[in-house]
Amino acid sequence: MKNHFFFALLFLSAMALAQPEESYNYDETKVPKFQLPDLLTSFSGNAIETQQQWEENRRFEILQFFEKQVYGKVPDRLDEYSFKLLEESNDAYGGKARRKQVAISLKKNKRTITYNMLIYLPKGNPTAPVFLGYNFYGNHTVTTDPKVPITEAWVSNNKTFGITDNKASENTRSVRTHRWAIEKMLDNGYGLATIYYGEVDPDKNDFSDGVHQLFYQEGQDKPKTNEWGSIAAWAFGLSKAMDYLENDGNISDVIVFGHSRLGKAALWAGATDKRFAGVISNDSGCGGAALSKRKFGETVERINTSFPHWFADSFKKYNDNERTLPVDQHQLLALMAPRPLYVASAVEDQWADPKGEFLSTHYASKVYELYGKEGVTATNMPDVEQPIQKTVAYHIRNGKHDVTDYDWEQYIVWAKTFTK
């Protein structure tokens, strides 16, 4: 018993050291009293009782709220978009996989941006389901495959990777393979499609580049108050990738996946584009799967201060004001219904509020029940590494803010219950 106490203390102090955010709440007893907006009562107070009422009224008004007040609206349609197969091969991963690299070009107001998607497909079947997810440092970082070019786009500096001038070099090839269990996917009949998110919108507080500027009118240099921040821009990029994937011919279902900020983007992509057959949020935290009103770990104020470009400007009025938010993130999760949704947390990722992520799946499940689908019925978090895998799935694993083989093993087992 004594030993347990000692280790708990050691763990807590190690966590306090690991997180510089001392002024942020990591104490469950200090979570403010809050009331979650009810999923099945409309903003005007009407009870939602059927799938039809959900889809036509409630889902619509929730989606609109998130669109205008949280992530921001895409200002307009593109003038044009196109895809170009850059190269293709049958001998990736020792002959196990085929590889395709596709350039996606988006055009508006005579301006164009182009980003590259790397695709690996298992051989054996004419079509395969794929996981689609952004990577943080370039497609060349997720694999040892020398045929994947180094991204030429702006990348964040990173001491560990030796990136000092916002440019990726050959030295960064394969530095993120541990986050992408590609062989496991292939061996289980799944493919992977991945894109470097910075090619869609560089992750910096500057709206002069990326997809936003395609839409500017003369004299405009940033989106309007209710218009898209970077998360919505990344989600838009995923949707355009889907336009390619659904016509590739060798791909069946697409499950959209993302880690952390890119988990937030994957959730918003899943909410706004029903073609995604399933959605996975890995450690997405604040502005992703975690309930904002708990103010545990990262808060709305903190995220809008550290990353002023991620959300619509209009979201800033909820800084230190979560109480007045007419929605919370369980309602974002419910927008995926009835499609399968997986939320995952990590024990040492308290910044992302694992409990808030779990509760969010529980509350969202009410909408899945309208469709006769099973969600997360438990009100208490499951034990560590004891996944709940229904149409709504949740696990918390040991370890840090990361994507591990353990995570992928769970996603694959779960995906097999619904993909073609």
191 or 356: CB nearest ligand GTR: 356
111 or 400: CB nearest ligand GTR: 400
- The residue from 239, 260, 284, 292 that is catalytic is 260
The 10 Å Cβ neighbour count of residue 405 is 12
Strands (E), 287-333: none
In the bound complex, what is the minimum distance in angstroms from residue 298's beta carbon to ligand GTR?
A: 5
24 or 371: CB nearest ligand GTR: 24
**Cα(58)–Cα(251) distance, rounded to whole angstroms?**
32
Is 192 near ligand GTR (CB under 6 A)?
no
In the bound complex, what is the minimum distance in angstroms from residue 36's beta carbon to ligand GTR?
A: 21
72 or 375: CB nearest ligand GTR: 72
For 306, the token pair is: 């550290």
In the bound complex, what is the minimum distance in angstroms from residue 351's beta carbon to ligand GTR?
A: 6
Residue 55: which region, alpha, beta or left (left: phi > 0; alpha: psi -120 to 50)? alpha
CB 278 within 8 A of CB 415: yes
Total residues contacting ligand GTR (rule CB under 6 A)? 7
In the bound complex, what is the minimum distance in angstroms from residue 301's beta carbon to ligand GTR?
A: 12
Which one of 99-107, 205-213, 298-306, 356-364 is the stretch in contact with ligand GTR (CB under 6 A)?
A: 298-306
Binding track over 252-281 against ligand GTR, x by CB under 6 A: --------xx--------------------
Q: Establish whether 401 is a catalytic residue.
A: yes
Is 286 near ligand GTR (CB under 6 A)?
yes
For residue 194, what are the β-bridge partners? 118, 133
CB 338 within 8 A of CB 373: yes
Is 298 near ligand GTR (CB under 6 A)?
yes
**Cα(40)–Cα(116) distance, rounded to whole angstroms?**
41
Residue 213: which region, alpha, beta or left (left: phi > 0; alpha: psi -120 to 50)? alpha
| CB neighbour list of residue 280: distance below 8 Å, 6 or more residues apart | 131, 133, 255, 256, 257, 258, 263, 266, 341, 342, 344, 411
CB 287 within 8 A of CB 258: no
Is 304 near ligand GTR (CB under 6 A)?
no
In the bound complex, what is the minimum distance in angstroms from residue 234's beta carbon to ligand GTR?
A: 11
In degrees, rounded to 5, the angle at the alpha carbon of residue 318 between the alpha carbons of residues 377 and 263 is: 50
Element (H, E) at 395: strand 392-397
List 235, 267, 303, 396, residue binding ligand GTR (CB under 6 A): 303
92 or 262: CB nearest ligand GTR: 262
46 or 306: CB nearest ligand GTR: 306
Strands (E), 32-183: 80-92, 97-108, 111-122, 128-135
Closest by Cα among 288, 108, 306, 297 to 211: 108
CB 210 within 8 A of CB 200: yes
Is 285 near ligand GTR (CB under 6 A)?
yes
CB 328 within 8 A of CB 291: yes
Q: Which residue is nearest to ligand GTR (CB)?
A: 260
- The residue from 42, 156, 174, 401 that is catalytic is 401
19 or 250: CB nearest ligand GTR: 19
Binding track over 64-103 against ligand GTR, x by CB under 6 A: ----------------------------------------
In the bound complex, what is the minimum distance in angstroms from residue 34's beta carbon to ligand GTR?
A: 20
Q: Establish whether 345 is a catalytic residue.
A: no
201 or 298: CB nearest ligand GTR: 298
Ramachandran angles phi, psi of 416, nearest 5°: -65, -20
Is 350 near ligand GTR (CB under 6 A)?
no
In the bound complex, what is the minimum distance in angstroms from residue 310's beta carbon to ligand GTR?
A: 8
Is 346 near ligand GTR (CB under 6 A)?
no
Catalogue the active-site residues: 260, 401
User: Applying CB under 6 A, which residues contact ligand GTR?
Assistant: 260-261, 285-286, 298, 303, 306
